[in-house]
Amino acid sequence: MQAFDTHDESERELLVQEHAKDLLKHVDALAKRGYADKESSPNFVVLFAPFESILTEALRVDSRLLEKAFAKGVTIATPTTMMALLRTVGYIFSRNRLAESATEIQELAGTFLKNVASLHVKIVTVGDRLKSTLKAYNEMIPTAESTVLSPAKKIVNLGVSGDTSKLKAIPEISENVRTLKSNLALDAPDDFIDAEELVDEE
């Protein structure tokens, strides 16, 4: 402000040079505060110059001012560049959040599919065991009829003495009990899910 208020060109030049040095001192002060070292922070600090002339006059006497500031992790922004800079930083942060979310979703999906595969293996195992149980039951019925019930009835018919009332009260095995069938959809296609059978170690 002092440089613009004076009409002496030599004094104005000296004042602008002092202004450039003061601006660089402010750059050094910001760099020492370590704002860029904070967690989730960009790796640079923004020094906002509210007037375009603050930067342009300083660059006129020190053309390497921006380069010096960049080397210290400080970016000097004017009203013209500030909004663009903020939009750029905002875009970068939003993309980073999307990337983090994508990574988390991928991890959750991997865990979910692993659990689904484990559940499928257990369902198949239970289904196989149910099939074995039903098969054993269906094989037991005719064996019981031929080896136990039928001979027992013949013994009763031959007039063997004793309390045979309970044996006479035994009902015939009905057809719907004679052969049990499973309506469970246990035969899933081979490509239902790629899974490995889990073997319990005892």
- Residue 178's pLDDT is 57
- Residue 143's pLDDT is 81
The token pair at 159 is 């007039």
Nearest CA-CA partner of 17 in 49, 89, 65: 65
- Residue 193's pLDDT is 46
- Residue 181's pLDDT is 62
For 1, 30, 76, 161, 194, the CA distances from 52, given in Å and listed in that order, are 13, 20, 11, 122, 64
Per-residue pLDDT 10s for the chain (202 aa) are: 888 788 888 888 898 899 999 999 999 998 888 887 777 677 788 888 888 888 888 999 898 999 999 889 898 988 888 888 888 878 877 877 777 777 777 888 888 888 888 888 888 888 888 888 888 888 887 887 778 777 777 777 776 655 655 555 555 665 655 565 655 544 444 444 444 444 444 4
- Residue 27's pLDDT is 92
Contacts of 16 (CB under 8 A, 6+ apart): 3, 57, 58, 60, 61
What is the three-class DSSP state of 89? helix
- Residue 198's pLDDT is 47
- Residue 40's pLDDT is 66
If one counts every other C-beta atom within 10 angstroms of the C-beta of residue 1, the result is: 8
